[in-house]
Amino acid sequence: MAISLLRARTPDAPTDRRAPRSRRRPAETPPADDRLRLMTLNVAHARRQGRHQALLSESTLRSNLAAIAAVVRREAPHIVALQEADGPSAWSGGFDHVATLAELAEMPHAFRGEHNPFSLGKYDLSSGTALLARLPLGDPRSHAFGQNWRDTKGFVAATLEAPQLGNGPLDVVSIHLDFLAERVRSRQVEQLVERFGVSARPLVVLGAFNCVWSERRRSLDLLRRELRLRPVGFAGHATFPSWRPMVRLDWILISEQLDFAAYETLPDRLSDHLGVVAEVRLRGADSAAR
């Protein structure tokens, strides 16, 4: 298993109050050969729905990660984007959550970016975003936003060649935006645009955007205009809070070279956010599921 870890200490659709449609995709039924299956989940430092990860035992944290890994195996995505994903950290058991998840979920490639600026010796706090994949992750890179002293958000990205998309290069990003201030989210999105605005490759951005589509004239609209990204073409799919989903804070956005073939919110309460799964294919390919 190839596990790449990077520790870089560099300085949120219309509201949907319906619970997500529960469904189970048979594990033995793989996605079509021309579809790339994607998943995103804010793992909340493995606390599940607990008050704080520091109040949980290491065995409980490991059990929560095992539950997440079981859902990943069931859904069989090619790529998983994680947010609030910890490395060895004093507040969450002192072990690497991403490496543990990669092993339990049987994902041979993993990359974690460090976005937490706080380091207090043995009380080190390690968290960020991550990618797990069945395909090799080329040119993995991490970017911490560092907008203010409390900013522990950022993104990781990698370029991969997916047989499902004709083996052409594809950029995949796992992102986590600020949850308090729209102006901070906008500045964070500007940093993503700066990194990918000149690329001609297809792009997928997955993660916890912490904003709803009513902000489309700000953070999300900046992604639409500058990176030509778009969400799935129908409303719904509330993801937060997981015990009573009311707002859609977690998104999968794709560039104009791609189309959605399937999209759904998972019912599993693995953290305070629900996970999202989508299948994408090259635009223009015949698709029966939209």
Q: Which residues contact 85 (CB under 8 A, 6 or more apart)?
A: 43, 97, 98, 101, 112, 127, 128, 129, 130
Amino acid at position 48, single letter: R
In this prediction, residue 27 carries a pLDDT of 47
Residue 182 pLDDT > 60 = yes
Residue 288 pLDDT > 70 = no
In this prediction, residue 125 carries a pLDDT of 85
Share of the chain above pLDDT 90, in %: 66
244 vs 247: CA distance, rounded Å: 9
Q: What is the mean pLDDT of the chain?
A: 86
Residue 284 pLDDT > 90 = no
In this prediction, residue 13 carries a pLDDT of 37
Give the DSSP per-residue string, 60-97: HHHHHHHHHHHHHHHH--SEEEEEEEESS-TTTTTS-H
278 vs 175: CA distance, rounded Å: 16
Residue 215 pLDDT > 70 = no
In this prediction, residue 29 carries a pLDDT of 54
* Of 125, 155, 151, residue with least CA distance to 140: 155
In this structure, of 5-19, 44-58, 120-134, the range with the lowest mean pLDDT score is 5-19
| Packing angle, helices 58-75 and 97-105, rounded to 10 | 40
- Look at the block and give the residue holding tokens 């409980």: 60
More confident residue, 215 or 20: 215
In this prediction, residue 287 carries a pLDDT of 45
The full set of domains in the chain, from first to last, is: 2-20+32-282 (3.60.10.10)
Amino acid at position 151, single letter: D
Coil, helix or strand for 17? coil
Residue 10 pLDDT > 50 = no
* Of 220, 221, 228, residue with least CA distance to 199: 228
39 vs 54: CA distance, rounded Å: 27
Local confidence band at 201 (pLDDT 50, 70, 90 cut-offs): very high
Q: What is the pLDDT of residues 110-120, one digit of tens each?
A: 999 999 877 66
Contact 91, 85 (CB under 8 A): no
In this prediction, residue 194 carries a pLDDT of 95
In this prediction, residue 221 carries a pLDDT of 83
- Burial, 105: exposed, middle or buried (Cβ in 10 Å; 0-12, 13-18, 19+)? buried
Residue 274 pLDDT > 70 = yes
In this prediction, residue 258 carries a pLDDT of 97
Which of 49-58, 212-221, 232-241 is most confident?
A: 49-58
Q: What is the pLDDT of residues 158-174, one digit of tens each?
A: 999 999 999 889 999 99
In this prediction, residue 8 carries a pLDDT of 40
Residue 9 pLDDT > 60 = no
* Of 264, 270, 215, 267, residue with least CA distance to 245: 267
